[in-house]
Amino acid sequence: YLSEGLVKTDRIVTHNFPLKEWREAIETAEKKTDNAIKVTMTPESS
pLDDT at position 25 is 98
Per-residue pLDDT of the chain (46 residues; tens, 9 = 90+): 677 888 887 778 999 999 999 999 999 999 999 999 999 999 987 6
- Cα(9)–Cα(40) distance, rounded to whole angstroms? 11
- Global model pTM greater than 0.75: no
Backbone angles phi, psi at 29, to 5 degrees: -65, -45
Contact 32, 10 (CB under 8 A): no
Burial tier of 25 (Cβ tally within 10 Å: 0-12, 13-18, 19+)? buried
pLDDT value for 34: 95
Q: Where are the domains of the chain?
A: 1-46
